[in-house]
Structure 1
Amino acid sequence: MGCADIAWRRTLPAMAGNTRVEVAAIASRSKQSAVEFTDRYGGLPLEGYDALLELPDIDAVYIPLPGLLHAEWVTRALEAGKHVLVEKPMTGSLAETRRLVELARSRGLVLLENYMFLYHSQHEAVRKVLADGAIGELRGFTATFTIPPKPAGDIRYRSEVGGGAFLDFGGYPVRAAQFFLGSRLRVAGAVFRHDERHGVVMSGSVLLSTPAGIPAQLTFGMEHAYRNTYTLSASTGHLSVDRAFTPPPTYQPVLRVERQDHREEFVLPADDQFANVVETFVRAVAGDENVQAQQEGTLRQAALIDEIRRVAEVTSV
């Protein structure tokens, strides 16, 4: 549902590579865009999103629409009896996200948010290095996801649908902090740069903390040089991973471990995080996997995002 760039480049190729998925239909606001996509990936081209939900033989819907359109179309897809894989963020608020999760559960349908980096094996490799004590006791986490300015008209500059940099990709560092520091994070502070012309947040920094006082310092923005990394600092060293959130499927991540008198680099296996999330979704739809734990992570993420936005010191520029 929606001919987004992420669908063209990553999700539809992953679906095409899964033997249990048939791309049966692709809907767009324009028939021309739908035809372009179905010419490559197959299926029936449809004009209008409603037309997709009216098809009786569709089991599941993938929704890569702009973030602030998710709540409406996830609701309508669930009410039509379809399982849903939706791009992050699931919605723009905790209340809407909770409502959708409860609706899916009440109807026995799968609803999965696509924070795809969580499905890449490199992060479990990092967890293992930490658990093995390679850098001592954890003392802090930092993560950065920044990109250069986008072309004029990009949806991220549209407050009514895209919602700005924080909602679109500022959540990646927040979700990574959850992954490594656990579910009990509190918001210690945040600073946002708000663009008055576009009416959206362009960049910012966030400080989170665990109950034990371990901080997570997070940076995001769309007015920077490109960075996509995280670092875990500990009592005897630190480790880092580049291209942490959006590695191509053929990319072999490099895990760097540094101590005072020692440095190692581990080349990790290439992995296709989109293929992995599609397989997880397929298994859940088939009844072979329960995604309740992922949904609880989605709810915690939505709560953190709400709280960060509430406390953020906003500077208009």
Structure 2
Amino acid sequence: MLPAFAACPDIEIAAVASRDPAKARQVAERFGCRPVHGYGELLELDDIQAVYIPLPAVLHAQWTEAALNTGRHVLAEKPLTTDRRRTGELLELADTRDLVLMENVMFVHHHLHRAVRSLVADGATGELRSFQAAFTIPPLPDGDIRYDPELGGGALADVGVYPLRAALHFLGPELDVVGARLTRGAGRRVETSGAALLGTPGGVTAQITFGMEHAYRSSYELWGSEGSITVDRAFTPPADHVPVIGLHRGGKTQEIRLEPYDQVAATVEAFAAAVRAGTLPDTRATLRQAELLDDIRRSASRAEPVRTG
């Protein structure tokens, strides 16, 4: 994110804060800004207009609220908070103070997904029937914060957000959770994999799969009455990646290739543009995502194995 901030003509990196003064100095020297010891000290500076919060998930709410209360716009890593109530409170706080609060879900800013939406809207798949998405990554080092429940770790909040947000992106906010399962790997204190089934009032189903002790996968597919669309490298493509949309109709496959696109730069530019224009972003998807994350957790906690015999 820091290189993307540095490359954006509408942003100046003014300071970087850390609990470790040496780390703050090291990063500040690289990006030509001031090192600050402590997050609270950063918010006492009088020349900071906006704050980026990349902390562990459990700390997002505390420092997002603190930044908003000092009049700063905020770009916060996903998930914005670890529960729907706090997410709603912070979005309302930002709205009442006319401040931009954006959750850093970058893939929604990639032109690939706009192109897929256009294809669906133009009837490329016929009447939409179902959506399936997966995001899984290989195991992390044992000490990684994403294995720590006290820091808001777990596969759902870290990687499950991607396919869930994709389902919302394509199917809309009326999605509801039908059922879910979260699985904890051996020796882990958080869930390391999971899946959920969702549906719309119109009968379109969505199946999402996620995990962080798996072979890598980042994809989605939309099925319709007349065809389907497949996308690989969907959620975290590098800036030089050539996106390919697979359009499958009538037993034939057409590959639609797009120009490479830097979704990190696009996200940073969208945040800067909103701040400069004083235009508050549409945060309804952020709130609905928080609600569905809570619903998935509740559904998974009620799930019992089905025994046959």
User: TM-score scaled to structure 2, two decimals?
Assistant: 0.95
Mapped contact 1:23–1:41 kept (Cα < 8 A): yes
Distance (Å, rounded) in 2 between the aligned partners of 1:243 and 1:12: 23
| Aligned with residue 296 of structure 1, among 284, 290, 294 | 284
Aligned residue in 1 for 2:20: 30
Structure 2 unaligned regions, length at least 5 = none
Asked whether 1:61 is paired with 2:46, we answer no
Structure 1 unaligned regions, length at least 5 = 1-10
Counterparts in 2 of 1:52-201, with a 5 A limit? 52-195=42-185, 197-201=187-191
CA deviation after TM superposition for structure 1 residue 315, in Å = 8.1
Q: 1:214 to 1:234 in 2, by over 3 A?
A: same
Tell me the amino acid that sits aligned with residue 303 of structure 1.
E
CA deviation after TM superposition for structure 1 residue 76, in Å = 0.9
Tell me the amino acid that sits aligned with residue 304 of structure 1.
L
Distance (Å, rounded) in 2 between the aligned partners of 1:249 and 1:36: 26
Task: Return 61-70 or 133-142, whichever deviates more.
Answer: 133-142
CA deviation after TM superposition for structure 1 residue 251, in Å = 1.0
Q: 1:37 to 1:100 in 2, by over 3 A?
A: same
Deviations 1:101-153 (A, max 9, x none): 11111222111111111000000000111122222111110000001110110
Identity across aligned pairs (percent)?
Answer: 51
CA deviation after TM superposition for structure 1 residue 75, in Å = 0.9
SS in structure 2 opposite 1:65?
Answer: coil
Give the length in aligned residue pairs. 304
Distance (Å, rounded) in 2 between the aligned partners of 1:42 and 1:211: 52
Aligned residue in 2 for 1:7: none
Aligned residue in 2 for 1:203: 193
Mapped contact 1:194–1:315 kept (Cα < 8 A): no
Mapped contact 2:18–2:37 kept (Cα < 8 A): yes
Task: Return 188-197 or 139-148, whichever deviates more.
Answer: 188-197
CA deviation after TM superposition for structure 1 residue 195, in Å = 4.2
Aligned residue in 1 for 2:202: 212
Aligned residue in 1 for 2:271: 281
CA deviation after TM superposition for structure 1 residue 287, in Å = 2.3
Asked whether 1:46 is paired with 2:70, we answer no
Distance (Å, rounded) in 1 between the aligned partners of 2:295 and 2:178: 10
SS in structure 1 opposite 2:192?
Answer: strand
Tell me the amino acid that sits aligned with residue 299 of structure 1.
L
Aligned-CA RMSD value: 1.5
Tell me the amino acid that sits aligned with residue 33 of structure 1.
K
CA deviation after TM superposition for structure 1 residue 288, in Å = 5.0
CA deviation after TM superposition for structure 1 residue 276, in Å = 1.2
User: TM-score scaled to structure 1, two decimals?
Assistant: 0.92
Deviations 1:235-270 (A, max 9, x none): 122111111110111111111111232111011111
| Aligned with residue 229 of structure 1, among 219, 222, 241 | 219
| Structure 1 residue ranges, 4+ long, deviating more than 4 angstroms after superposition | 313-316
Mapped contact 1:83–1:109 kept (Cα < 8 A): yes
Distance (Å, rounded) in 2 between the aligned partners of 1:111 and 1:180: 23
Aligned residue in 1 for 2:297: 309
Distance (Å, rounded) in 2 between the aligned partners of 1:260 and 1:162: 46
Task: Return 36-45 or 219-228, whichever deviates more.
Answer: 36-45
SS in structure 2 opposite 1:229?
Answer: strand
Task: Return 20-29 or 258-267, whichever deviates more.
Answer: 258-267
Counterparts in 2 of 1:247-258, with a 5 A limit? 247-258=237-248
Distance (Å, rounded) in 2 between the aligned partners of 1:122 and 1:312: 32
Deviations 1:173-213 (A, max 9, x none): 11100010111001100011024743211101000001011
Task: Return 230-239 or 32-41, whichever deviates more.
Answer: 32-41
Mapped contact 1:30–1:47 kept (Cα < 8 A): yes
SS in structure 2 opposite 1:156?
Answer: helix
Tell me the amino acid that sits aligned with residue 229 of structure 1.
S
